[in-house]
């Protein structure tokens, strides 16, 4: 049964009238103000979220991870020109107190680490190389073979380096294939590229200070072959319709991406 409307009697002889409730009218009067405030509230919340996201991204980039692009073949075949890598900055972060290592997942720079660092000759440039020698060790190269003498030891030990290669023998000066011995000073590191015949490294410009090391290479998150780079650029300069230009650029992107290298850990 449908609910009856409520009535109120002023007196016994007066006709019945519907009860008047002023609450709905007040709600309607206030409604325009609430509706007008909603866009401002949305804008405030959106701006607040954007600022927080920016701060988090800045924190991650400054202290945890940072992307880099490989511009030269000095680390082939570990890293190729066009590889985009993510560098773990936190793992090699310098610590003010040794006790911090008991609680934080940090590590010392080790043999074989692929590191990104500020080039000692021009700190505005970032280089990527592999750590060959640690502070206090002595390095020498005999007929392209790397030998290390550890601190406190007498003899040299030949290093097994499955990552190194010599693609262009005879292209480097003889003093680089037969180098040293040199002792690595405290707080410095001896680094070389995996592509030994096409790498400017510690054999020519010296050691890397610990303070210059940015982080350790972690993963290849994207790789794009330079063979298709010109095609992508030409597509972006094409005078054709916008849709065609976008499709051409997208095609170059998918054709140029090295999908088999995406997600590879850097070893």
Tell me which residues are annotated as active site: 74, 129
- Report DSSP state, residue 57: H
Distance between CA atoms of 128 and 75, rounded to whole angstroms? 8
Nearest Cα to Cα of residue 82 among 200, 211, 228: 228
Around Cβ 25, how many Cβ atoms within 10 Å?
10
Is 29 buried (19+), middle (13-18) or exposed (0-12) by CB count in 10 A?
A: exposed
Kindly give, in sequence order, each residue whose CB lies less than 8 Å from that of residue 136, ignoring residues fewer than 6 positions away.
Answer: 150, 151, 183, 184, 186
Distance between CA atoms of 260 and 255, rounded to whole angstroms? 12
User: Which residues are registered as beta bridge partners of 85?
Assistant: 68, 220
């Amino acid at each position: 049964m449908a609910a009856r409307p409520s009535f109120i009697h002023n007196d016994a002889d007066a006709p019945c009238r519907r009860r008047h409730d002023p609450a709905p009218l007040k709600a309607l009067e206030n409604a325009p103000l609430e509706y007008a405030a909603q866009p401002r509230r949305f804008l405030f919340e959106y701006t607040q979220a954007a600022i927080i996201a920016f701060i988090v991204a800045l924190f991650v980039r400054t202290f945890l991870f940072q992307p880099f692009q490989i511009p030269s073949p000095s680390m082939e075949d570990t890293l190729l020109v066009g590889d985009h890598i993510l560098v773990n900055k936190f793992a090699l972060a310098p610590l003010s107190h040794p006790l911090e290592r008991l609680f934080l997942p940090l590590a010392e720079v080790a043999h074989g680490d692929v590191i990104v660092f500020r080039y000692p000759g021009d700190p505005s440039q970032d280089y990527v190389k592999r750590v060959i020698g640690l502070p206090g060790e002595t390095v020498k190269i005999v007929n392209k073979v790397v030998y290390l003498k550890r601190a406190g030891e007498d003899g040299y030990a030949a290093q097994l380096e499955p990552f190194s290669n010599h693609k262009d023998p005879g292209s480097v000066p003889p003093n680089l294939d037969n180098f040293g011995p040199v002792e690595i000073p405290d707080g410095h590191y001896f680094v070389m590229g995996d592509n030994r015949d096409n790498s400017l490294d510690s054999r020519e410009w010296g050691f890397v200070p610990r303070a210059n090391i940015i982080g350790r290479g972690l993963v290849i998150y994207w790789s794009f072959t330079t063979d298709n780079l010109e095609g992508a650029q030409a597509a972006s300069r094409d005078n054709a319709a916008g849709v065609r230009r976008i499709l051409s650029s997208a095609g170059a992107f998918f054709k140029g991406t090295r999908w088999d290298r995406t997600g590879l850990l850097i070893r």
